[in-house]
Structure 1
Amino acid sequence: MKEGGHVSLYIADFRSLVSRIGDWGERALIHHFRKGFPSRILDQLASHPSRIDSLQDLMDVTLELDTRYHERQKEKKPEALKSNSSHLQNY
């Protein structure tokens, strides 16, 4: 998964791969699922308060974290535009 990518697409790709390779066991699947995360997701997981006991739990949590991240990125775009335009008005 790329740094700005969406977890929902990563989950779909991962599930597709798992359906082709068969069941490796929960721990192995969790390990390989985590290996594909960008650092922003790993950083957020490190401070996440909930215990994650299953692959589905991990998928749910990472999807929630990713949704929040992308929502915040959308919020920041207008802030950056506003900041740049007010900065230019000062000149």
Structure 2
Amino acid sequence: MKEGGHVSLYIFDFRNLVSRIEHLGERDLIHNFRKGLPSRILDQLAPHPSRIDSLQDLMDITLKLDTRYHERQEEKKPEASKSNSSHTQNSLSSSQKKKKNFQKREKPHS
């Protein structure tokens, strides 16, 4: 799974793959599912001391974590555009000041 991808797509693909494979126990499924998770999800799973006993529990938890991650990314977008907007305004005013100073120097004296 790609680092910025959605866990829901990974879960869909994983379930599809597992449906074609026989003889995998719950622990093997959990192990293989975890191996494909992005580090941002694995990092959030690591501090939890409780042991996850079923693949479905792990999928539910990772889906919640991923949903919150993407919500937070959306929340950050307006913050980033505000920051970029003020930076652009500062750059423009700086450029305009330089242009005015240049024009003052270029005026012919009468």
TM-score after normalising by structure 1: 0.92
**63-72 or 15-24: bigger deviation:** 15-24
Q: Is 2:26 the partner of 1:61? A: no
Counterpart AA for 1:55: L
**In structure 1, what is the equivalent of residue 47 of structure 2?**
47
Q: Percent identity?
A: 84
Show the counterpart of 1:8.
Answer: 8
Unaligned runs of 5+ in 1: none
CA distance in 1, matches of 2:77, 2:49: 29
How far apart, CA to CA, are the structure 2 residues paired with 1:49 and 1:73?
27
Instruction: Calculate the aligned-residue CA RMSD, in Å.
Output: 1.3
Q: Which has the larger radius of gyration?
A: 2
Count of residue pairs the alignment pairs up:
91
Name the stretch that deviates more: 49-58 or 76-85.
49-58
**What is aligned with 2:87?**
87
- Deviation of 1:27 after TM superposition, in Å, equals 0.4
Greater RCO, CA 8 A, separation 6+: 1
Distance 2:47 2:56 in 1: 19
| Deviation string, structure 1 residues 21-69 (Cα, Å, up to 9, x no partner) | 1240000000000000111011011124654211110000000000000
